[in-house]
């Protein structure tokens, strides 16, 4: 009996502490229900941890003067496509609570840039290389302090990007422009980095320009796979 009285007193004290004009209106029942309903607790520690993780995304050729990258017959430029993809990928990752830097091709911040991961976004030429010139390719920063981490980032991008887009992997066209990408030498050695060419701007043009959200999602998913140490399918040999 005494316990019931104490419980009632606590409830009444809570109600009057939460006083509002609604308390004495016809909405009294909903006020009581709201006070008695457990409220979700924000995971502040997890949010803070994510904000502490820095991610760099380079929009290839962006901010590099007259250099537009590949230019198609219809006037579409690689730099505009790269930027759209990089921007959307950054938005996805920021929506997950991470700190993301959207970087230009020769961004001054790249000098000794330190982050958990950096990915440079590019696309392949509009030229006609035949019916097999379709798909994406990824290359790691070979000079990274820990090549195992770079290889893992590439495996995550390969796996998640392929799942998100359905495009084939095209490792046979990985060039020295990718393996010796200039930014790799500028970064802090602790930054795990890779470069991705998301498709060929001829045979993959329609997909890249109309399904840009899927392209960006594939890159974001690859980065999240790396950060969360998720499992991947094995990377095929070139």
> Is the same domain home to 211 and 149?
yes
Query: Cα(first)–Cα(last) distance of the chain, in Å?
Result: 78
3-state secondary structure of 141: coil
Let me know if residue 200 belongs to a domain. Answer: yes
Domain that holds residue 136: 50-227
- Partners of 102 in the β-ladder: 57
Contacts of 225 (CB under 8 A, 6+ apart): 156, 157, 159, 160, 232
Question: Which has the minimum average pLDDT: 11-20, 178-187, 191-200, 218-227?
Answer: 11-20
Q: What is the pLDDT of residues 60-107, one digit of tens each?
A: 999 999 999 999 999 999 999 999 999 999 999 999 999 999 999 999
> Is the same domain home to 76 and 10?
no
Q: What is the pLDDT of residues 158-213, one digit of tens each?
A: 999 999 999 999 988 888 888 889 999 999 989 999 999 999 999 999 999 999 99
Let me know if residue 238 belongs to a domain. Answer: no
Please count the structural domains in the chain. Answer: 2
Let me know if residue 184 belongs to a domain. Answer: yes
3-state secondary structure of 136: strand
> Is the same domain home to 94 and 196?
yes
Let me know if residue 44 belongs to a domain. Answer: no
Let me know if residue 151 belongs to a domain. Answer: yes
pLDDT of residue 143: 64
> Is the same domain home to 77 and 109?
yes
> Is the same domain home to 89 and 115?
yes
> Is the same domain home to 82 and 23?
no
> Is the same domain home to 28 and 127?
no
> Is the same domain home to 127 and 23?
no
Let me know if residue 41 belongs to a domain. Answer: no
CATH number at residue 173: 3.40.630.40
pLDDT of residue 47: 67
> Is the same domain home to 66 and 183?
yes
pTM for the full predicted model: 0.79
DSSP H or E stretch at residue 58: strand 54-59
- In the chain, which ranges are continuous DSSP H helix? 2-17, 28-36, 44-51, 78-95, 147-165, 176-179, 182-186, 205-210, 212-227
> Is the same domain home to 29 and 141?
no
């Amino acid at each position: 009996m005494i316990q019931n009285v104490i419980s009632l007193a606590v409830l009444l004290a809570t109600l009057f502490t939460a006083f509002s004009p609604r308390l004495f209106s016809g909405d009294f029942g909903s006020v009581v229900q709201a006070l008695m309903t457990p409220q979700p607790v924000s995971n502040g520690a997890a949010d803070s941890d994510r904000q502490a993780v820095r991610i760099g995304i380079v929009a290839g050729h962006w901010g590099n003067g007259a250099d537009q990258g590949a230019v198609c017959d219809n006037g579409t430029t690689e730099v505009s496509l790269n930027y759209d993809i990089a921007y959307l990928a950054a938005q996805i990752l920021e929506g997950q609570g991470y700190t993301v830097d959207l970087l230009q091709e020769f961004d001054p911040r790249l000098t000794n840039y330190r982050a958990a991961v950096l990915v440079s976004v590019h696309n392949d030429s509009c030229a006609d290389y035949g019916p097999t010139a379709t798909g994406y390719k990824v290359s790691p920063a070979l000079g990274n302090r820990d090549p195992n981490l770079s290889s893992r980032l590439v495996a995550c991008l390969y796996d998640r990007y392929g799942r998100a887009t359905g495009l084939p992997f095209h490792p046979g066209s990985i060039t020295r422009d990718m393996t010796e990408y200039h930014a790799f030498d500028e970064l802090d050695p602790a930054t795990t980095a890779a470069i991705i060419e998301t498709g060929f701007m001829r045979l993959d043009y329609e997909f890249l320009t109309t399904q840009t959200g899927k392209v960006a999602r594939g890159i974001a998913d690859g980065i999240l796979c790396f950060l969360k140490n998720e499992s991947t399918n094995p990377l095929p040999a070139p």
